A and B are shown apart, each in its own frame.
Chain A
Amino acid sequence: MSMAQQAEPAVSTPPAPGPKETDGRTRERPVALRLLARPEVGVFLGAVAVFVFFLIAAPTLRDGGSMATVLYQSSTIGIMALPVALLMIGGEFDLSAGVAVVTSALTAGMLSYQLTVNVWMGVVVALVASLAVGAFNGWVLVKTGLPSFLVTLATFLVLQGVNLAVTKLVTGNVATDDISDMDGFDQAKSLFASSFDVGGVEVKITVVWWLVFAALATWVLLRTKYGNWIFAVGGSQESARAVGVPVTFTKITLFMLVGFGAWFVGMHQLFSFNTVQSGEGVGQELIYIAAAVIGGCLLTGGYGSAIGPVFGAFMFGMVNQGIVFAGWNPDWFKAFLGVMLLGAVLINLYVRRAATRR
């Protein structure tokens, strides 16, 4: 059931007693309830629950350095989960997001190495390529009216094949060559993959970028016209078009935003590992989508936030690493992960239901 329907005031509410004559439609709901009805509050509580649980279960996690590891894992998921969430609010999703990350990294790595140019050239070309993949996804979707499931599934398969075939064709191997001794590498590494010291704890720069991007996405979503367009096209495309929202523009740019995210995470991988294997990235798209859904974005579009996926990604990183920190039998790893995530989503759902019920 969609939130928009639930949020509709009940027509049968009797007139509220009080000095003023009202029919209840304009009545202010308690602050706590209004807060709980926000899409990100459920996942926030879920994240807190998981966090507290692992603080108790895994003593080593209380160390600052361990927390930095959790945040690092969360950030590499979270940076991609943000545009994926915006796209989902806009009513579409992208199955090619996982391999697109690797496509971007491969492009930059191979171009720099093969032409022996400054790695920044590779970085820029990879950005163009990533945005182009996004634009292509959006353009095909808008032109054909096919569901995004089909369009991006096709892109997913194409990219997977292209990643492998082109890498093999160009390098003669299935992984890119090491670019760590090339000009510009150190600069690029400091931007995409460095770390800095906070009170004796090494924090990865991706954590900072993740929070910056989250703040930016929140501002765009809540304070700009473009943000309104995203909600509008996700809620009802026809109505949005009828009131003058540029649906085509909004959808294509949303896919390009995912391309940007893929580029950023791809650059992080390239500059932290120096080489990229062409078969990686498959399956990651589901994790990004999961982080967005856990973060309170509806699979049907029109509802969600940018801060929710931040907690969604954090929860994923927390559970992922928490199991290791707790030293549990690793054979059960995936099962633990699934149960934890389902539990968190249920808390999320319960809170939202409870908050919007009157």
Chain B
Amino acid sequence: MDRSSHARSRRFAPAVALAAAAALTLAGCSSGSGGKKADEEGDSGASAGKANTPRMTVALVTHQAPGDTFWDIVRKGAQAAADKDNVKLVYSADPNAGNQANLVQNAIDQKVDGIAVTLAKPDALRSVLDKAEQAGIPVVGLNSGLADWKKLGLMEFFGQDESVAGEALGKRLNEDGAKNAVCVIHEQGNVGLTQRCEGVKKTFEGSIETLYVNGTDMPSVKSTITAKLKQDGDIDHLVTLGAPFAMTAVQSVDESGSKAKVATFDLNKELTGAIEKGDIEFAVDQQPYLQGYLAVDGLWLYKNNGNYSGGGEQPVLTGPAFVDKTNVKAVAEFASKGTR
């Protein structure tokens, strides 16, 4: 007895020692600044009670590429509305238009009570949206497809006109006295991104160039923007089309010794900090949380009260809203939770 327990304790000794060592290292290595401890604060996300209407199912089908911070916010908005409205939200996404159409078909097969869909490539979704209509499922659009939602027979639309947002940004550049700007596109061939740059071009009175960067490789984004700034010393404004790229552009400006200022589309929590510090001039926010929220809520309202936002005739615009030094404080609070 005695010997066996001794043997067992000896066998366990290394494991215990290892665990203890690991615990000690963890404790000893704890960071005195930053980290989760410093950021820990109240619960995330808005909450507005809960409806007692019958349970319904809504499918949200987007063209999100995996791991994009923007779409994560859309989904959070949709989820918040779903929680409030006693809705079961089924989320799916695929950047490939054909696959996205299949996902819509999948939702029809599941006999959901409503579908919210993005129309990044409207033609590819035409036939499957007809099927949804035949099946009597109400469909609303969000984010992209402002020009096509009515033609495709959608009930409502929630989003921002990318060209209008671009035009607004162009005007703002004029006010800031910009002369030479560069519009940085992080995904070659993306219609929405191209429309933004075209919009800027329309209203901006100075000269503007397009620059393509490889959005999946940040070091390459950084060096390409740096290269552009070095090649053309007259550039005074950089326009990026996504928050993470704006943060990288700031580093490029630093490194190239250029005096260019950075403005961007879309927000995230790092970006609000950068606006507060003055590293970034302003961001054009299309409020993705609102798009997701309104799309689900719109379907709920239709089912339970027969309402149409925009009367079924006009889109509901969620942007462009400018976030700059004057109002960033109010926005930062929500952005830090990842919802704005």
B78–chain A nearest beta-carbon distance, Å: 15
Decide if B212 is an interface residue (CB 8 Å cutoff). yes
A and B contact pairs by CB, cutoff 8 A, 11 listed: A65-B230, A69-B227, A113-B35, A115-B35, A164-B66, A183-B33, A272-B222, A275-B244, A324-B231, A326-B231, A330-B211
B residues sitting closer than 8 Å to A (CB atoms) are 25-26, 29-39, 44, 65-69, 71-72, 188, 209-212, 216-220, 222-224, 226-228, 230-232, 244, 247-248, 251, 255-257, 268, 270, 273, 338
Q: Are B338 and A172 in contact (CB under 8 A)?
A: yes
| Besides A116-B30, A174-B67, A282-B216, 4 other A-B contacts (C-beta < 8 A) | A113-B34, A116-B38, A179-B35, A275-B247
Q: Are A168 and B36 in contact (CB under 8 A)?
A: no
Assuming A121-B29, A182-B31, A325-B230, is B67 touching A173 (CB within 8 A)? Answer: no
Q: Mark A165-182, 1 if CB is under 8 A from B, else 0.
A: 001100011110111111
Q: Which residues of A contact B30 (CB under 8 A)?
A: 115-118
Q: In the bound complex, what is the Cα–Cα distance between A109 and B218 (angstroms)? A: 16
Interface residues of A in 154-194 (CB under 8 A from B): 160, 163-164, 167-168, 172-175, 177-185
Q: In the bound complex, what is the Cα–Cα distance between A280 and B36 (angstroms)? A: 23
Interface residues of A in 252-289 (CB under 8 A from B): 268-269, 272-275, 277-284, 287
Q: Which residues of A contact B257 (CB under 8 A)?
A: 65
Q: In the bound complex, what is the Cα–Cα distance between A58 and B231 (angstroms)? A: 8
Q: Are B67 and A167 in contact (CB under 8 A)?
A: yes
User: Which of B33, B188, B211, B226 has most A Cβ within 10 Å?
Assistant: B226
Q: In the bound complex, what is the Cα–Cα distance between A334 and B213 (angstroms)? A: 10
Decide if A120 is an interface residue (CB 8 Å cutoff). yes
Decide if A66 is an interface residue (CB 8 Å cutoff). yes
Q: Which residues of A contact B188 (CB under 8 A)?
A: 333-334
Q: Which residues of B contact A239 (CB under 8 A)?
A: none
Assuming A167-B67, A280-B67, A284-B216, is B29 touching A321 (CB within 8 A)? Answer: no
Assuming A69-B226, A121-B26, is B31 touching A281 (CB within 8 A)? Answer: no
Q: Are B66 and A179 in contact (CB under 8 A)?
A: no
Q: In the bound complex, what is the Cα–Cα distance between A185 and B34 (angstroms)? A: 10
Among A73, A113, A114, A164, contact of B219 (Cβ-Cβ < 8 Å): A73
B232–chain A nearest beta-carbon distance, Å: 7
Interface residues of A in 297-348 (CB under 8 A from B): 317, 320-321, 324-327, 330-331, 333-334
A332's nearest neighbour on chain B, judged by CB, is: B212
Q: Are A115 and B270 in contact (CB under 8 A)?
A: no
Q: In the bound complex, what is the Cα–Cα distance between A283 and B230 (angstroms)? A: 27
Q: In the bound complex, what is the Cα–Cα distance between A181 and B39 (angstroms)? A: 11
Q: Are B224 and A324 in contact (CB under 8 A)?
A: yes
B215–chain A nearest beta-carbon distance, Å: 8
Q: In the bound complex, what is the Cα–Cα distance between A92 and B188 (angstroms)? A: 32
Decide if A60 is an interface residue (CB 8 Å cutoff). yes
Decide if A137 is an interface residue (CB 8 Å cutoff). no
Q: Which residues of B contact A321 (CB under 8 A)?
A: 223-224, 227
A267–chain B nearest beta-carbon distance, Å: 12
A275's nearest neighbour on chain B, judged by CB, is: B270
Q: Which residues of A contact B226 (CB under 8 A)?
A: 69
Q: Which residues of A contact B251 (CB under 8 A)?
A: 272-273
B280–chain A nearest beta-carbon distance, Å: 15
Q: Which residues of B contact A272 (CB under 8 A)?
A: 218-219, 222, 251
Q: Which residues of A contact B212 (CB under 8 A)?
A: 330-331, 333-334
Interface residues of A in 23-62 (CB under 8 A from B): 58, 60
Q: Are B231 and A180 in contact (CB under 8 A)?
A: no
Q: Mark A63-105, 1 if CB is under 8 A from B, else 0.
A: 1011001101100100000000000000000000000000000
Q: Which residues of A contact B218 (CB under 8 A)?
A: 269, 272-273, 280
Q: Which residues of B contact A160 (CB under 8 A)?
A: 66
Q: In the bound complex, what is the Cα–Cα distance between A321 and B220 (angstroms)? A: 9
Decide if A126 is an interface residue (CB 8 Å cutoff). no
Among A63, A163, A178, A287, contact of B230 (Cβ-Cβ < 8 Å): A63
A322's nearest neighbour on chain B, judged by CB, is: B227
Q: In the bound complex, what is the Cα–Cα distance between A114 and B34 (angstroms)? A: 10
Q: Are B34 and A325 in contact (CB under 8 A)?
A: no
B25's nearest neighbour on chain A, judged by CB, is: A121
Q: Are A284 and B217 in contact (CB under 8 A)?
A: yes
Q: Which residues of B contact A237 (CB under 8 A)?
A: none
Q: In the bound complex, what is the Cα–Cα distance between A280 and B67 (angstroms)? A: 7
Q: Are B217 and A117 in contact (CB under 8 A)?
A: no
Decide if A107 is an interface residue (CB 8 Å cutoff). no
Q: Which residues of B contact A120 (CB under 8 A)?
A: 29
Among B25, B224, B247, B268, contact of A320 (Cβ-Cβ < 8 Å): B224
Among B31, B223, B270, contact of A178 (Cβ-Cβ < 8 Å): B270
